[in-house]
Homo-oligomer: A and B are copies of this chain.
Amino acid sequence: MLDAVFDSLRDAQKKLALESGENKNKALLAVAEAIRKDETKILLANTYDIEKARQTDTKESLVERLRINEDRVHEMIQGVKNIANLPDPVGKVRAGWTLPNGLFIESLTVPLGVVAIIYESRPNVTVDAFALAYKAGCSILLRGSSAALNSNQALVTAIKYGLKAGGGIEDAVELASSGEHSEVNEILQARGKIDVVLPRGGHNLIQYVLANARVPVIETGEGNCHIYIEPSADPQNAAEIICNAKTQRPGACNAVETILVHRDALSALAPLLTEKLAGKVKLRCDPQAKAAFGETSAAAQALLLIEDATEEDWETEYLDFILAVKTVDTIDQAIDHIKRYGTGHSECILTDDLKSSERFLREVDAACVYVNASTRFTDGGAFGFGAELGISTQKLHVRGPMGLEALCSIKYLIRGSGQIRP
């Protein structure tokens, strides 16, 4: 039963909401130091998790997600320091105005409250999520996967030790560690106790949370991302961007899944792209694109596996070394395709044409709309947010990479001199 934990998080949050930025930063830096000191313990705990995962025949890619090494620990430490160095998101005046009757109204940022995150594998999320929450004056309940339990316990022990050493509020972070699935349900039902739940993980986790939550949820995740290539785009640069967006980390939600190639861009792009992707990426092409790729050098073709695209390909987030290729005749067709199949995550146009770039930015409805850059930049760290809690694909409250601002609400302060309502 998490009731006592909810109450303790709520009490801690009320204190944390009133902490000065200076005190919060001091506590965060002490947490960074505590993680550094506990590095050996953390790595040891992680080896237990890895061994356990291997013994239960976990897929090697999942085992890899679980792994922490020295570099990862240093990244976590640096992440906490980066967050400490960001400006305090709390107490910022967002707007202010005076009514005709003299009432002076201001809206001020305040912490969102008590946050819960339900996540899979990657133990670095434990540290990132805690640090962002603490900085924003929110207490946080961490519900990691049972596969990462030892690692998460070691990390939270270090975090709490650091908070104590740095004069922070230890009770502002708790790990839900029973490993029981009922714990997830208890969190999802905790209306009035938890202000928001963030699911971070695969499709099934997110759908489960959406279907069962009685507390507000921020939906994250699915990214069926597109890059549309116009004839005016430099083909060499286009090939580099597409290759980066597809292969730099294909399992990420901001990886490109379908490219929409203008028919007049196809012949210049195909050989350059073949060269970049050959031996790494399978293509699923419509007939016109297939023909263009078929005209590239025999050597390249030998390494590039081309299959026929079906309707399903336009709908699929592969999260793999597979890329769908569709030929379009106009920018309208590209925008329509994105409207129909896009998940509102990250969409990109490669062009040298001003009208096209402005139209694309204006008409495509997605969290992040790019001109001439890789979609892989959709990321809290890359955006300069210090870290991220995930990438919101909903429009309510927060959209795109979630950093400190996503953990804030507002309150109105109204200063009067005796006004009553007529």
Task: Enumerate chain A interface residues (CB-CB to B < 8 A).
Answer: 14, 17-18, 97, 99, 103, 105, 110, 112-113, 191, 195-196, 210-211, 214, 216-218, 234, 237, 240-241, 244-245, 248, 339, 357, 361-363, 365-374, 376-378, 382-384, 394-397, 399-400, 409-421
Contact = CB atoms under 8 A, between A and B. Distances in A.
B339 A394 contact: no
Contact of A195 (B396, B412, B413): B396
Contact of A370 (B18, B368, B414): B414
13 contacts: A18-B362, A99-B384, A113-B395, A195-B394, A216-B394, A361-B413, A368-B412, A370-B416, A372-B416, A373-B417, A374-B421, A396-B396, A397-B397
A396 B415 CA distance: 24
> Which of A195, A217, A365 has the most CB atoms of chain B within a 10 A radius of its CB?
A365
A383 B105 contact: yes
Report the copy number of this chain in the oligomer. Answer: 2
A366 B421 contact: no
Contact of A248 (B357, B363, B414, B421): B421
B363 A396 contact: no
Given A372-B416, A376-B420, 17 more contacts: A14-B365, A18-B363, A97-B384, A110-B365, A191-B210, A195-B395, A241-B418, A241-B420, A245-B420, A361-B415, A366-B411, A367-B411, A367-B412, A369-B411, A396-B397, A397-B397, A400-B412
Contact of A196 (B361, B396, B412): B396
Nearest to A213: B214
A365 B113 CA distance: 10
> Which of A240, A376, A384, A397 has the most CB atoms of chain B within a 10 A radius of its CB?
A397
Given A18-B363, A216-B216, A365-B14, A371 B418 contact: no
In the A-B complex, list the 3 residue pairs whose CB atoms are closest, starting with the nearest.
Answer: A373-B416, A395-B409, A244-B420
Contact of A371 (B17, B211, B378, B416): B416
> Which of A99, A217, A418 has the most CB atoms of chain B within a 10 A radius of its CB?
A418
A371 B411 contact: no
A339 B14 contact: yes
A421 B17 contact: no
A413 B244 CA distance: 19
A420 B397 CA distance: 29
B411 A365 contact: yes
A244 to B, nearest CB: 4
Contact of A240 (B105, B196, B363, B420): B420
> Which of A17, A195, A400, A414 has the most CB atoms of chain B within a 10 A radius of its CB?
A414
Contacts of A382: 99, 421
A418 to B, nearest CB: 4
Contacts of A214: 210-211
A417 to B, nearest CB: 6
Contacts of A421: 244, 248, 374, 376-377, 382
B112 A395 contact: yes
A254 B415 CA distance: 16
Contact of A372 (B195, B365, B371, B417): B417
Contacts of A18: 362-363
> Which of A105, A395, A417 has the most CB atoms of chain B within a 10 A radius of its CB?
A395
A234 to B, nearest CB: 7
A395 B196 CA distance: 9
A204 to B, nearest CB: 16
A109 to B, nearest CB: 11
A417 B18 CA distance: 43
A108 B132 CA distance: 23
A216 B219 CA distance: 10
> Which of A17, A383, A409 has the most CB atoms of chain B within a 10 A radius of its CB?
A409
Contacts of A377: 103, 414, 419, 421
Contact of A369 (B218, B369, B396, B414): B414
